[in-house]
Amino acid sequence: MTQLVTFGETMLRLSPPNGERLETADQFDAGIGGAESNVAVAAAQLGVDAVWLSKLPDSPLGRRVARELRGHGVRTGVTWDDSEDARLGTYYLEYGGAPRGTKVVYDRANAAITTVMPGELPVEAIQGASVFHTTGITPALSGATAETTAALLETAAEAGTTCSFDVNYRSKLWSPEEARETYESLFDHVDVLFVPERDATTVFGYEGSAVEIAHGIGTDYDFETVVLTRGEAGSLALHGGELHEQGTLPADTIDAIGTGDAFVGGFLSRRIHGGDVDECLAYAAGAAALKRTVTGDVAVLTHRELVEVLDDERGDISR
């Protein structure tokens, strides 16, 4: 039985080897990545029956997305766009150490998903699921994706499916004002909100300490759970009026892209399996740390590895 449904865009990801540049590299590593499918993959590897909904071009690159996700254990509910011009969004990732920094070049305009309509997706999957998850990237892609996001959240809410939403503000897609207006129009149906501290400030205007921000969000909106993610500084959850904190696990970073999605995937997987908020946060932090050790957008990991990491961590703390 489906436990988690996610909806969003997955792109082709192309990256030159570390130390080489997009201008000069002769080979690009090819993979796929997308916030919502990354979450589904992380959860699926942790034992969740997960489905990803989207629209893809009926092309080798579109099939590649479905193929890789299936390989990672995610079932796909995809509408295939067979129009001549249907394209897959693409992003180029250039790793770079300090002072250069890792950079992303997007080429995602007019991707097949930008024309998706609710009727093209198997919404019944959402109705029977435990959790429906999407992010603040999806409604930013086009009017159609904004509409479909709203419709799917409504469908989920009506069916009693828990709605999870990761703000994930992307400044290259829209302004903070536009984003806020759309986000707030969706929040009625959202039960679990993931929000990076930076977005809480940029988009929603919160200031002050992380605790103050979390309480601010808790006061202004009506979420069951608010999870504030703070990069190296760890994370914070407000649930039932109580604050839960979680540190970041030390990790040797090979590839930081997708860390936040692994965090959400870890959190939701534990929640679906009945964990309390502290457990959810611990799973989230563990999955995020493991993700950092693996090349690519998606967290290739096992439940056993995650448990070992958490056991080590607890061990270290108890001494």
Q: b/e string for 226-242 if b means 16 or more Cβ within 10 A?
A: bbbbbeeebbbbbbeee
Taking the complex as a whole, the smallest distance from the CB of residue 14 to a second copy amounts, in Å, to 7
Judged by CB, which is closer to a second copy: 83, or 209?
83
Selected binder of a second copy within 3, 13, 31, 93 (CB under 8 A): 31
Q: Which structure tokens are listed for 245? A: 């904190």
Which residue of the set 82, 261, 278, 311 is catalytic?
Answer: 261
Tell whether residue 94 is a contact of a second copy (CB under 8 A): yes
Q: Cβ closer to a second copy: 141 or 156?
A: 141
Q: How far is residue 125's CA from residue 148's CA, in Å, rounded to a whole number?
A: 15
Contact status: 202 vs a second copy (CB under 8 A): no
Using CB under 8 A, which residues numbered 140 to 199 contact a second copy? 172
CA distance 251 to 241: 31
Applying CB under 8 A, among 49, 80, 110, 146 the residue interacting with a second copy is 110
- CB neighbourhood size of 169 (10 A): 24
CA distances from 116 to 57, 59, 224 (A): 11, 17, 29
Residue 315 touches a second copy, criterion: CB under 8 A: no
Label residues 176-191 b or e (16+ Cβ within 10 Å = b).
eeebbebbeebbebbb
> Which H or E run includes 181?
helix 176-186
For a second copy, the closer CB: 118 or 176: 176
Q: How far is the CB of 56 from a second copy (least distance, A)?
A: 12
User: By C-alpha distance, which of 94, 102, 111 is closest to 14?
Assistant: 94
Q: Which residue has the tokens 């609710």?
A: 118
293 is an interface residue for a second copy by CB under 8 A: yes
Q: Does position 307 bind a second copy by CB under 8 A?
A: no
Instruction: Kindly tell me which of 21 and 198 has the beta carbon lying closer to a second copy.
Output: 21
8 closest CA partner among 69, 61, 82, 85: 69
**Does the annotation count 222 as an active-site position?**
no
Distance of closest approach, residue 30 Cβ to a second copy, in angstroms: 5
**Minimum CB–partner distance for residue 296 and a second copy (Å):** 8
The Cα diameter of the chain in Å comes to 62
Confirm or reject binding of residue 256 to a second copy (CB under 8 A): no
Q: Are strands 90-94 and 225-229 parallel, antiparallel or unpaired?
A: unpaired
Nearer to a second copy, 28 or 221 (CB): 28
Residues of this chain that interact with a second copy (CB under 8 A) are 14, 16-31, 59-61, 63-64, 67-68, 70-73, 84-85, 87-88, 90, 92, 94, 96-100, 105, 107, 109-110, 172, 249-255, 286, 289-290, 292-295, 300, 302, 305, 309, 312-313
